[in-house]
Chain A
């Protein structure tokens, strides 16, 4: 599996994504500068977590204006896999690649802690190595992870099996406990928790590994 990580200014988890991808795939991902307008030939594009442009405007809004976004949309249109983690998820909703929006956490505080998730869907390139209904633990680290969409959209997401991860104990007020969703074609995943922080035994968990293992199996 060939992958790329987009480097937005201050999207500070780009190096963590690189480490996890290198460890899991055995190959270093391409690090693609936000001002580039073309992607290298890759199977997976990762939009990492962090604070692109400091989140000074609406989170993800500035990054969505980057030159590279056109190429990412084209990659997704062609069916290429796109994974947006945390700030990356926020960028994907700004870009219209995923529906809904991420608002301030209900408690109005930034929260960093491991959270319980249930894997709702295994029919995707991102989750096929999990068991349906499996409970996993992955850390969150965000101030704006409160997922919102109108009722119609939420019903549709549920009906089409696009709600992939749900919080077991909702930390941020997200509608219907949603932690991660797919697009209609099921090739774009956005999630607030950070799977790249739990691929290494020494860090107290490996529940994030299966996302990368699923992608390797699906895309190689």
Chain B
């Protein structure tokens, strides 16, 4: 037997105090297998030990929430007996080490989280952050990650309908790959992971178990250093073909009533799936590893319990239904094996070759897992308005901004994703939110991911608020009622008090916004330790969100559609240049206060705009965010090449007006008669509103004086990404 030494304990990422606690819980020295099980179950990745205390503060309830955090994914009621199931999860660490497989298995993992609950996945999104474009690894990582996401999602036949791509030097050593999956189920066919009852067969389905991904969860719970490349063997390899078979086979089995509980084998594989199912069901689980389908010879119990081989599920069936289930999995040519039984002992017992290799109380892995209230150091938010050069020409700056790494078109990315398969994608990538019809109905889901990390370092609280508000605004801008949120909290090392503060303030900001906007958090994921050689990423609390449209024919899009429409901005423009894209791209500085979000105004303005869309009065809407007002207007001109002539009389200062990133604003365009009414109604409701001009022609014209051709803007906007990826342009550092 392997001797448990202090060095071995440390190698497993467990602190001295944690090991002492293990000794107490076990009443003896753990076996090697038990130590491995503790190591993954108590890892940050699986236990949320640094964040759990703070995550409890998030609002998670609403009348339309069917399942909040704690299951594989959250579930909301979307009417007519339909349920929407969704979640976002990170695969940051593996994607940096091996971008194709890291991203691919991130997609596969989040899809399993959704279909294990009985849903057919109908849409994927992803939020990606890379290092600065000039960093030697960036192009390789972008290429690998995009290929990986496409390679897996396309083969699965689930449309990838949008997401975000940002570049910033803080991600040079730690890229972020957050993938979101949205699925549909009937409310009476939702499957949970609670393995209730004793004497029920525990079955293993899907791919065989290999030696890949051992200790992936532990890797994802530590910082990187220069030797991190050596961790490549801990990255799993994806097989989307098998996952597609697994999806169809699981849905076929779910159409019967044979299943008591089911859970995918994600991080920490067989260990976490069995422990979590037993824990939630209040039962014990006894596994015999001799029956586990194995890809390689002579695998040890330790390897099998910690393998993160992909495309596997664990299910508890009603007794006597094994043959029925096996027939389905044989039809789909997948492995199926009864590998254990539920018990009434509340213990996880693992046998291998006739010996008991682990025997531990399940609560030691769940309830007894450490929870830390880590110390944090509050930091006052950055304040003040930055200086800027008033003489810079506005239209030249507009052109530069539209062709900058964070603002240029992402067409190069999303054309590599099949975004129209399943034939229900009503709004393709490039708009404020993707819209996917609920198959066979006239209603649709709007889906978005959003966060502005550049706001989150200067002011983690306002940054967290803003991420939620902007996601809410994205959904509103297409005409959907925002319903719920999944959060993917990406931060640095929580053991540093200044980072812990970013986490705590970020969660508080998210909570404040979610409460004010009736936008509950129904699930999420934390990715901490995103640091390399002590350098942390910008705080990046990515928000994935879903809204509902009752009548998809009313949907609004960003494109100007007619000449002669009146261009209106809803919401107040004060000219907030702090932390703006303008300041960074034109002045080369990241300074000033992050833009504050007045949540009451946010809600009032958004409800007003949504009302106009729902009533069929407006079909052209764009949320005003990154880059400010003039960038929003240009983005509305680009799709169909319809220009606009805009201006505002008596403007004291053009630059902050056109490029400030004040929140809670929308640009709409609508024919004159309707526009007059809308302006009057907004004023009567106490909503700040301004008429800026008219659509038409093929130029963007300012104050009837200066113009730039839409085609010229478009060339830069569409050009940057393909040129960057082809290595044609040495990109500027942001």
Closest to A16 in B: B423
Are A16 and B415 in contact, CB atoms less than 8 angstroms apart? no
Residues of B within 8 A of A49 (CB): 421
Selecting from B153-161, B213-221, B501-509, B708-716, the interface stretch reads B153-161
Residues of B within 8 A of A54 (CB): 155, 239-242, 244
Closest to B158 in A: A12
Are A141 and B422 in contact, CB atoms less than 8 angstroms apart? no
Q: How far is the CA of A141 from the CA of B419 in the complex (A)?
A: 9
Q: Is B245 interfacial (CB-CB < 8 Å)? A: yes
Are A9 and B552 in contact, CB atoms less than 8 angstroms apart? no
Are A16 and B421 in contact, CB atoms less than 8 angstroms apart? yes
Residues of A within 8 A of B425 (CB): 203
Q: Is B417 interfacial (CB-CB < 8 Å)? A: yes
Q: Convert B404-438 into 0s and 1s, putting 1 for each residue whose CB lies closer than 8 angstroms to a CB of A.
A: 00000000001111111111111010000000010
Are A202 and B415 in contact, CB atoms less than 8 angstroms apart? no
Interchain CB contact (< 8 A) of A51 among B241, B333, B414, B423 = B241
Q: Is A200 interfacial (CB-CB < 8 Å)? A: yes
CB distance from A90 to the nearest CB of B (A): 14
Residue among A16, A112, A113, A197 having the largest count of chain B Cβ atoms under 10 Å: A112
Are B155 and A51 in contact, CB atoms less than 8 angstroms apart? yes
Residues of A within 8 A of B552 (CB): 202
**Known pairs A9-B332, A12-B156; A56 contacts B241 (CB<8 A):** yes
Q: Convert B221-246 into 0s and 1s, putting 1 for each residue whose CB lies closer than 8 angstroms to a CB of A.
A: 00000000000000000011110110
Q: How far is the CA of A112 from the CA of B240 in the complex (A)?
A: 19
Are B415 and A111 in contact, CB atoms less than 8 angstroms apart? yes
CB distance from A42 to the nearest CB of B (A): 22
Q: Is A68 interfacial (CB-CB < 8 Å)? A: no
**Known pairs A51-B154, A51-B155; A112 contacts B419 (CB<8 A):** yes
Q: Convert A49-74 into 0s and 1s, putting 1 for each residue whose CB lies closer than 8 angstroms to a CB of B.
A: 11101111000000000000000000
Interchain CB contact (< 8 A) of A12 among B157, B239, B332, B415 = B157
**Known pairs A202-B426, A202-B437, A203-B426; A10 contacts B157 (CB<8 A):** yes
Q: Convert B128-156 into 0s and 1s, putting 1 for each residue whose CB lies closer than 8 angstroms to a CB of A.
A: 00000000000000000000001100111
Q: Indicate the size class of the contact surface on chain A.
A: 20 to 34
List A126-165 residues whose CB lies under 8 Å from chain B: 139, 141, 143
Are B155 and A196 in contact, CB atoms less than 8 angstroms apart? no
Q: Is A20 interfacial (CB-CB < 8 Å)? A: yes
Q: Convert A1-12 into 0s and 1s, putting 1 for each residue whose CB lies closer than 8 angstroms to a CB of B.
A: 000000001101
CB distance from A28 to the nearest CB of B (A): 13
Are A50 and B157 in contact, CB atoms less than 8 angstroms apart? yes
Closest to B159 in A: A112
Q: Indicate the size class of the contact surface on chain B.
A: 20 to 34
Residues of A within 8 A of B333 (CB): 9
Q: How far is the CA of A63 from the CA of B244 in the complex (A)?
A: 15
Are B422 and A16 in contact, CB atoms less than 8 angstroms apart? yes
CB distance from A58 to the nearest CB of B (A): 14
Interchain CB contact (< 8 A) of A53 among B241, B419, B420 = B241
Closest to A143 in B: B154
Interchain CB contact (< 8 A) of A111 among B245, B416, B426 = B416
Q: Convert A151-195 into 0s and 1s, putting 1 for each residue whose CB lies closer than 8 angstroms to a CB of B.
A: 000000000000000000000000000000000000000000010
Closest to A114 in B: B420
Residues of A within 8 A of B423 (CB): 16, 19-20, 196-197, 200, 203
CB distance from A124 to the nearest CB of B (A): 24
Interchain CB contact (< 8 A) of A113 among B151, B415, B424 = B415
Q: Is A102 interfacial (CB-CB < 8 Å)? A: no
Residues of A within 8 A of B417 (CB): 110, 112
Residues of A within 8 A of B241 (CB): 9-10, 51, 53-54, 56
Q: How far is the CA of A56 from the CA of B245 in the complex (A)?
A: 14
Q: How far is the CA of A12 from the CA of B154 in the complex (A)?
A: 9
CB distance from B550 to the nearest CB of A (A): 14
Q: How far is the CA of A141 from the CA of B437 in the complex (A)?
A: 20
Q: Is A13 interfacial (CB-CB < 8 Å)? A: yes
CB distance from A169 to the nearest CB of B (A): 14
Q: How far is the CA of A134 from the CA of B641 in the complex (A)?
A: 24
Q: How far is the CA of A49 from the CA of B422 in the complex (A)?
A: 11
List B225-274 residues whose CB lies under 8 Å from chain A: 239-242, 244-245
Interchain CB contact (< 8 A) of B245 among A9, A16, A204 = A9
Closest to B244 in A: A10
**Known pairs A12-B244, A54-B239; A139 contacts B332 (CB<8 A):** no
Closest to B239 in A: A54
Residues of B within 8 A of A19 (CB): 423, 439
Residue among B244, B418, B428 having the largest count of chain A Cβ atoms under 10 Å: B418
Q: Is A109 interfacial (CB-CB < 8 Å)? A: yes
Q: Beyond A10-B155, A19-B423, A51-B244, list 11 extra A-B contacts (CB 8 Å).
A: A12-B244, A16-B423, A51-B154, A51-B240, A54-B155, A54-B241, A112-B416, A113-B415, A197-B421, A203-B424, A204-B428
14 of the cross-chain contacts (CB-CB < 8 Å) are A9-B245, A9-B333, A12-B157, A12-B421, A51-B155, A51-B240, A51-B244, A111-B415, A112-B415, A194-B420, A196-B423, A197-B421, A202-B552, A204-B428
Q: Which residues of chain B have a CB within 8 Å of any CB of chain A?
A: 150-151, 154-157, 239-242, 244-245, 332-333, 414-426, 428, 437, 439, 552-553
